[in-house]
Amino acid sequence: MNFDELKSTWNAESTQEVHIPTRIQQLRKAQHPLDKLKRNMKNEGYMQIVAIIFMAFAPQLFTIATNTYLIYYTSYAIVVIISIYYLNIFRHFYQRVCHYTNDTKDNLSEIYYEFKLNIERYHSFGFLLIPFLMVWTAVYTYSRLVEQGKDLSTIPDSNKQLFLIVILITSFFVPAAIVAWTRYFYTPYTKQVKAILDELKEDEL
């Protein structure tokens, strides 16, 4: 293989087919997988904000017993504080990981570790919502019982066990669903980046 000869052909190659826009406005929106992932995460962030606003009015919408408002809104306030903290971290992440100006190894490492960290943050954010979900279930169940002129002490033992099982299943299902969601949407990309990073490792002579 004569590389010198090939290099001269390479240097003389026509570049006519390359289209350079005359205005930046003509450029389309970034289609890079990383930009798409960031857009997905950003949209999920907006959905979380909508959910938080909705949750503020949930007691009125679902006619929850007024004597449970204090419990509900205390847990809701905790959710809001946690959400502000996490959504702020996510926002910083979108702003930071969007350039490709470092050397390749640094660039790939940054993408890989930032994404891994963000996925873990995503998990913990989801897990932190489970206690709120339990408070909501208890408050909602209690309100329905009160409507029927009953209270928690009137629930038969068999139903209490069923209630406990439902709580346990939910506690397992929600984290599993969050992990499955990130594994489906985000992990394949981090795996591909990791594979390329491994290709950069030192070769033995």
Q: Please check whether residue 173 is in contact with residue 130, taking contact to mean a CB–CB distance below 8 angstroms.
A: no
How far is Cα 35 from Cα 97, in angstroms, rounded to an integer? 9
The residue among 106 and 151 lying less far from other proteins, judged by its C-beta, is 106
Contact flag: residue 10 with other proteins (CB under 8 A) = yes
C-alpha 130: how far from its chain's center? 15
Stretch that binds other proteins, among 29-37, 53-61, 123-131, 134-142 (CB under 8 A): 29-37
The residue among 111 and 135 lying less far from other proteins, judged by its C-beta, is 111
What character string, x for contact with other proteins (CB under 8 A) and - otherwise, covers 39-78? ----------------------------------------
Contact flag: residue 108 with other proteins (CB under 8 A) = yes
Q: Which of residues 127-186 bind other proteins (CB under 8 A)?
A: none
Stretch that binds other proteins, among 7-15, 48-56, 127-135, 165-173 (CB under 8 A): 7-15
Q: For binding to other proteins (CB under 8 A), which residues are involved? A: 1-3, 5-10, 13, 15, 17-24, 27-34, 98-108, 111, 189, 192-193, 196, 199-200, 202-205
